A and B are shown apart, each in its own frame.
Chain A
Amino acid sequence: MIWQLDLLILSLIVLCALATISVKDLFSAAIIFGAYSFLMCLLWTEMGAVDVAFTEASVGAGVSTVLFVAAVFRTTRKVKDRGVKRYWTKGVGLLAATSVGGVLIAAVGDFPGFADPLSPASTHLSPYFITNTLTDTAVPNIVTSVLADYRGYDTMFETAVIFAAGLAVIAILRRSKTGVQHESREKVILSEGYEDTIIRLVARKMVPFMQLFALYVLAHGHHSPGGGFQGGVILGASFILIAISYDMKMLLGRMSEKWNVLLGNIGVLVYAGIGFVCLLLGANFLDYSILHRILPATDEIMARSHGMLGIETGVAIAVSAIVVSLYVNIASQGKHDKGL
């Protein structure tokens, strides 16, 4: 860790944060927010949190930015300045921010120094995970083993959160089917104006590699940074790329709305189902070690490893499908006619 670099990135982050909330153009704000996320990603790599950085790169900088851009594109770029009338709200905001800030500052004095190897956080639970991950689960990536096994229950609900979000967006935005058909018949090719052969060609060539890489990230998550989330988001991003470079009809032709939601559903179901199978086999919920009874040629430790791969696959399916669904609905305001 190089603290000068650290400090530099942190100050850039603060600058970006200030810029993104103060620019008057929402599109710029979205882009600056993307930059902010990338800087975050750098910061975390620099602090050794590679998995977090990977996720932030794909989810925060990637999907979030796309969603922001899509939303801004669908609404308006302009922010009206009404500074004069809103003293009261600004006062409340300042008061809340300073009071929360003050309370937080009061706590910092008691914290152990930054990156102190003797801090409670580094000495209480984490040594167990670090020293036992191989003996318990045979997974060298400690983050993966903690994520998918020691705290697999968290992760299951995290997947459920994503699924719920996808469903929520559909519930809020999606319009009735008849309306959709009606409108899409009128406007057949909506992204005509954006047609660009080079982009389309490059995008088309990139998609298979992206998907391959996504599968690699997923499969190799046990040994290197990555896993279900990152893989799933990249997989989803490849579909979004199609939608952006071509149009939404092409995407929906390959992956209909119904399949989209069903896949998201199946992904979570794979996760919860594996947990439930453990329960049916007589162990506790999500206790993969029992799976050695039904998996050929595995002992209890490898069963955990395989179980994790199984649920990571579920996560990847769910996340990729839901990311696409989020994009499709937000970019088209729920009408499924055109994208960006």
Chain B
Amino acid sequence: MEYILAKYNYWIYILLMMIGLYAMIAKNNLVKKVIGMSIFQTAIIVFYVSIGAKRGASIPIIAHGHGHDVIATAVSAAEYANPLPHVLMLTAIVVSVGTLGVALAVCLAIYRRYNSLEEDEILEQLR
């Protein structure tokens, strides 16, 4: 029980990932696939951000630190959350919105040509 509770974030991210992956592969509607893709990507973000969490730490912005003249006060690493996963995930979010845009554009172009968003109908027209 403790094993499950201590890592609940990780269990949830796996669940989200499975939902997203299932939607990407099994859904017939293209927009649904794209939604699955977004869920899949956010699941990874959950994972990374969970890595960055630190018990008893504050947000990764150094308090009262304006300019490098006042750095006499030593900064303790334990006080602040791990910033690296946050940075990585900023990048990942932006990348995912880029992918989302392109995927939706392709969906629209497909709809314009085949007048359908259902995969099987499109494949039938291609045949």
Residues of A within 8 A of B (CB): 1, 3, 6-7, 10-11, 13-14, 17-18, 20-21, 26, 29-30, 33, 36-37, 40, 43-44, 47-52, 55-56, 59-60, 63-64, 67-68, 71-72, 74-76, 79-80, 82, 85-86, 89-90, 92-94, 96-98, 100-101, 104-105, 108-109, 111, 113-117, 119, 121-122, 125-127, 129-131, 133-135, 138, 140-143, 146-147, 151, 154-155, 158-159, 161-162, 164-166, 168-169, 172-173, 223-225, 229, 301-302, 319, 326, 329-330, 333-334
B1 CB–A CB distance under 8 Å: no
Q: Which residues of chain B are within 8 angstroms of A113 by Cβ–Cβ distance?
A: 6-7
Q: Which residues of chain B are within 8 angstroms of A6 by Cβ–Cβ distance?
A: 8-9
Known A48-B81, A75-B111, A333-B112; judge A59-B94 contact (CB<8 A): yes
> B68's contact among A10, A115, A168, A301, by CB below 8 Å, is which?
A301
Check if B18 sits within 8 Å of A142, measured CB to CB: no
Check if A79 sits within 8 Å of B105, measured CB to CB: no
Check if B17 sits within 8 Å of A165, measured CB to CB: no
> A93's contact among B25, B94, B96, by CB below 8 Å, is which?
B25
Q: Which residues of chain A are within 8 angstroms of B100 by Cβ–Cβ distance?
A: 64, 67
> B98's contact among A10, A134, A162, by CB below 8 Å, is which?
A162
Closest CB in chain B relative to A327 CB, distance in Å: 9
Check if B38 sits within 8 Å of A33, measured CB to CB: yes
Closest CB in chain A relative to B95 CB, distance in Å: 5
Instruction: State the main secondary structure of chain B at its contact with A.
Output: helix
Check if A71 sits within 8 Å of B104, measured CB to CB: yes
Check if B61 sits within 8 Å of A126, measured CB to CB: no
Contact sample, A vs B, 29 pairs, CB 8 Å cutoff? A6-B8, A14-B12, A14-B16, A14-B19, A21-B32, A26-B31, A43-B46, A48-B58, A49-B53, A55-B90, A60-B97, A104-B14, A108-B11, A114-B6, A115-B50, A121-B52, A125-B84, A129-B83, A130-B77, A135-B68, A141-B61, A146-B84, A155-B91, A165-B98, A166-B101, A169-B105, A172-B106, A301-B68, A330-B104
| Size of interface on B: residues with Cβ below 8 Å to A | 95
> A64's contact among B8, B11, B38, B58, by CB below 8 Å, is which?
B38
